[in-house]
Amino acid sequence: MSLETSSITRTLRVTLALIAALALSAAVASAQVISQADDGTGDAAAPATTAQPEQPGPAQEAHDAADAAQSALDEATSARDQLESDGAPQDQIDSANEAIARARADKQAADEAAEKADEGQ
């Protein structure tokens, strides 16, 4: 049983680390979008004569961050469901529920940033 608990704990830790990384990515993308919207820079600041490979604009980056946040939320929910089905201790399930709450908050923030980026176009 301790091997199963160790495996579950490891899975939960990896999932939480992934959620944290995705949240950080969403926050950085949101900050860039807001910063570019506030100072008027972004794709319009690049000279028209410079041939650059197509890069996603701030709105696309914000939507990508929202998609990543949704994936993190889905993964956190799946990890919690797995813990419940494996009969994990309640403290692990509670930790997973906290991770889901953080992932939901990150998803909401990413969605709001994407909405603001769309309005700025």
DSSP state of 43: G
Digits of tens for pLDDT over the chain (121 positions)?
555 666 666 776 766 666 766 666 666 666 666 666 555 555 555 555 555 567 778 888 888 999 999 999 999 999 999 999 999 999 999 999 999 999 999 999 999 998 988 887 7
Residue extents of the structural domains in the chain: 2-39+57-119
Read off the DSSP letter of residue 64: H
Q: Would you state the torsion angle of the CA atoms of residues 102, 65, 119, 36, taken in this order, to the nearest 10 degrees?
A: 110
3-class secondary-structure state, position 77: helix
- Which pTM value belongs to this model? 0.58
| Residue given tokens 């506030």 in the structure block | 38
Handedness of CA 17, 20, 26, 31 (dihedral sign): negative
